Structure 1
Amino acid sequence: MVRDATFRDAQAIADIYNHYITNTTVTFEELPVTAAVMRSRIQQAHDLSLPWLVLEQGAMLVGYAYASRWKERSAYRYAVEVSVYLAHDVTRRGYGSALYATLFERLAGAGLHVAIGGITLPNDSSVALHEKFGMKKVAHFTEVGLKFDQWLDVGYWQKALVSRNQEADD
């Protein structure tokens, strides 16, 4: 079941994310985050009327996806960055797709124009998920992050959520 995140989900979200912080280069954060940090991030999304979603399997939270502001400048207000994370032991079960399907639907319904996803490279499964949802690679930055004593590349994928023709009709 995909639903809106609440503050009660903050610890489970932090637990999922902290696995990626401490064990992978998927995120460039280097120190584990607390439930309080996640509550603050959920609140920031809510303050901007952006979705933060969780997926439950039974009584267990197994993943989350959210949109955040792309850049601070006013002209960027119709562009968002999207992210999805799953509990490390439940990947390849369609949960990321379920989260992104709901996230993209909500973003388009809110009148947002572009979704952007940043991916540490290489990451074949994340690239496949983003491309499954029609995102196209638009940028590749070489050696922009240093984690675990290795320089890492980042690619950016982008998707129009609302076509220019749809915007003109509205």
Structure 2
Amino acid sequence: MIRTLQTGDTQALLEIYNYYVVNTVVTFDIEPLSFEVFQGKISSINAEYPFLVYEDQNEILGFAYGSKFRPKPAYNFSVESTVYIKHTAHGKQIGTQLYKALIGQLKQTEAHTVLGVLTIPNEASVKLHKKFGFKEVAHLKEVGLKFGKWHDVGIWQLKLH
């Protein structure tokens, strides 16, 4: 079931997120986030943007949210989309379900465009964005240094209106 973020979700979401911090280059955070820092982050996002959680049999298996793309006022109608799936729950279409719901909610806002910012290569994430009609609009070379290696970032765009 997909539902909105609840206060008691923080620890489960943090565990999903910190797995990716420690084991992958999907996020460019280098150190695991503390409960307090992560709670502040998701509370701030949830105050302004849709924040969805996928729960099955009382277990949180993923989450997706929109967030501010850049801080300058001219970007106020551009939203960055994010989705994380518990590493043991891939292949169940959870990301697809969360993205469908998130995009649906973003279409009900004043957002004009949604941007997916992906570490490249990332075949699963590229496939997900293509499925929803996102188009690659930028490929930034060697912009993130993690695990002693430079990584590329792709920006994928979906115009909502």
- Can you list the C-alpha shifts for 1:109-130, whole angstroms capped at 9, x where unaligned? 1121100001101110110001
Q: Which amino acid aligns with 2:39?
A: R
5 Å matches for 1:79-118? Answer: 79-118=78-117
Aligned to 2:12: 12
Q: How far apart are 1:46 and its partner, in Å?
A: 2.8
Aligned-pair identity in percent equals 41
- Superposition RMSD in Å: 0.9
Structure 2 counterpart SS, 1:54: strand
Aligned equivalents of 1:118, 1:94: Cα separation in 2: 20
Structure 1 counterpart SS, 2:19: helix
Q: TM-score, normalised by structure 1?
A: 0.92
Counterpart contact for 1:3–1:54, Cα < 8 Å: yes
Aligned to 1:166: none
Q: How far apart are 1:161 and its partner, in Å?
A: 1.1
Counterpart contact for 2:120–2:151, Cα < 8 Å: yes
Q: Which has the larger radius of gyration?
A: 1
Aligned to 2:69: 70
Counterpart contact for 2:5–2:46, Cα < 8 Å: no
Aligned equivalents of 2:52, 2:38: Cα separation in 1: 13
- Can you list the C-alpha shifts for 1:27-73, whole angstroms capped at 9, x where unaligned? 1001101222222122212332x011100011100000011101111
Aligned to 2:2: 2
Unaligned runs of 5+ in 1: 163-170
Aligned equivalents of 2:35, 2:160: Cα separation in 1: 31
Aligned equivalents of 1:55, 1:80: Cα separation in 2: 21
Moved over 4 A (4+): none
Aligned to 1:30: 30
Aligned equivalents of 2:37, 2:19: Cα separation in 1: 15
Counterpart contact for 1:7–1:42, Cα < 8 Å: no
Aligned to 1:134: 133
Is structure 2 residue 45 aligned with structure 1 residue 45? yes
Aligned equivalents of 1:90, 1:5: Cα separation in 2: 19
Unaligned runs of 5+ in 2: none
